[in-house]
Amino acid sequence: MDINNRSRIHWACRRGMRELDISIMPFFEHEYDSLNDVDKTLFARLLTSDDPDLFNWLMNHGAPQDAELQRMVALIQTRNKDRGPVAM
């Protein structure tokens, strides 16, 4: 996935599961542009994961085996927590 194609990344963020949308969409909207290219690529790779895996990882019901994906999940959780609740 081309990390510079914001509309494609935005579309990939839309998961159809409210809990995932609440975690992923605000991160994309508020943080994506400030990520470096390595982290943008990692975020795009995370978006290729299955919804049940993403849900479990973002809700702390497990962690990806891949250390880089673990770091991205932690970054999403931290940035979302620091920003506070987001109404959708």
Q: Tens of pLDDT along 1-38?
A: 788 899 999 999 998 888 898 899 999 999 999 999 99
pLDDT at 16: 84
In the chain, where the domains are located: 6-83
Please state the rounded mean pLDDT for residues 60-64.
95
For domain 6-83, the CATH architecture is: Orthogonal Bundle (1.10)
pLDDT at 4: 82
pLDDT at 86: 58
Residues 49 and 56: their CA atoms lie apart, in Å, by 11
Residues 37 and 81: their CA atoms lie apart, in Å, by 23
The residue to which tokens 């975020």 are assigned: 43
Closest-CA residue to 41 (of 4, 67, 75, 15) = 4
